Amino acid sequence: MQNIRKNVNLSSLNTFKTGGNARFFCEVESENELIEALKFAKENKLEFFIIGNGSNLLLSDNDFPGIVIKIIIKGKKIEIKDADYSVVSAGAGESFDDLIIFMADNSLSGIENLWNIPGTVGASAVQNIGAYGAETKDFIFLVEGIDANNFEKFSFKNNECRFGYRESIFKKNKNLIITKVSFKLNNVFLPNFSYPSLKEYFSGRKNFDVREIIEAIGKIRREKLPDWKVLGTAGSFFKNPIITEEEYSKLLEKFPDLPRYDAGKDFVKIPLGFVIDKICLLKGFRVGQVGLFEKQSLVIVNYGGADFSEIDNFAKIIEEKVFEKIKVRIEREVENIF
């Protein structure tokens, strides 16, 4: 390949601003270029790692002895225009925000509640991103890509993607590399007000459109989340725990104000931010240059210069303190790499 570079530092390629050097690095703009990069890795017996915007990663400061492949495949297109819905496809390297703008420009709706999440279209399917009462799994129609094991193309319908809470088949099978995602969107504006803050924002109003929802989401996010362009962060670092009804009942005896959300039959999701703030009393907790964001305790922030081990060790402190209080092992939403 012509565009493979050597010894590329990765700290500028992720929002936490950590990472050592990749022995090899390349950007791919098409499926053919992706296959070339994968073949290069195989021929040279190298590990490979796929990166998008790096907004959900905590990269080790150790050097990576393989090849890092950044997906920058672009393109947005309306594939199907039916009476009730439209199918829009986008390259995996497209910004998810740009896809939302394309949707609004074409008088469609559905994924507007996911505005201002700093990831790519490909990552949205890997992670099944969610915010303000919406998840990508509710709108994904088709996921296409390349299987690194045999360099052949795959095409998965929604029910083949094994979506769960911040989970998918692509997160568990790193050989499945996404190149394009298609979304089934509404031709008629159907606002999703399942998130209380958003419902309150539009209380008493009758006439508004999808762009006003996008504007409102942006305002709400700015009020409670750090600016990832200024501070090192990957958004929500931890998942909200999902526990059994029985486990929740026992916790309720000790902590009667603990909120709950239904998570399927016999399961309950509890808000980890509440646990960290009100039960562990860790609101704004900080060690050196790493801390919990004061307005949202699910978010860990690199306030400047913290390395991988400092952030990782800080997260372990939070995990242990939560376990001490509620005897639940919390999971990370952010992936530790290398």
How many angstroms separate the CA atoms of 111 and 337, rounded? 29
Q: Which of 86, 89, 124, 236 is catalytic?
A: 236
Active site residue 222: no
The predicted structure's pLDDT at residue 2 = 67
pLDDT at 337: 86
Q: How many CA atoms lie within 13 A of 332 on its CB side?
A: 19
Q: Is 31 a catalytic residue?
A: no
- Which residue from 71, 73, 67, 93 is spatially nearest to 5, judged by alpha carbons? 67
**Letter for the amino acid at 195?**
Y
Instruction: Identify the H or E element spanning 235.
Output: strand 232-236
Backbone angles phi, psi at 39, to 5 degrees: -70, -40
Q: Classify burial at 190, counting beta carbons within 10 Å of its beta carbon; exposed 0-12, middle 13-18, buried 19 or more.
A: exposed
- Is 333 among the residues known to form the active site? yes
The domains located in the chain, with CATH, are: 5-71 (3.30.43.10), 76-224 (3.30.465.10), 232-337 (3.90.78.10)
Catalytic pick among 166, 168, 182, 332: 166
The CA distance from 80 to 89, in Å, is: 9
Catalytic residue, from 31, 36, 112, 333: name it: 333
pLDDT per residue rounded down to tens, the chain (338 residues): 668 999 999 999 999 999 999 999 999 999 999 999 999 999 999 999 999 999 999 999 999 999 999 999 999 999 999 989 999 999 999 999 999 999 999 999 999 999 999 999 999 999 999 999 999 999 999 999 999 999 999 999 999 999 999 999 999 999 999 999 999 999 999 999 988 889 999 998 888 999 999 999 999 999 889 988 889 999 999 999 999 999 999 999 999 999 999 998 899 999 999 999 999 999 999 999 999 999 999 999 999 999 999 999 999 999 999 999 999 999 999 998 87
For the record, the structure tokens of 157 come out as 């319908």
pTM of the model: 0.94
For 31, the token pair is 């499926």
Residue 41, amino acid = A
| Cα torsion angle, 60, 275, 197, 209, sign | positive
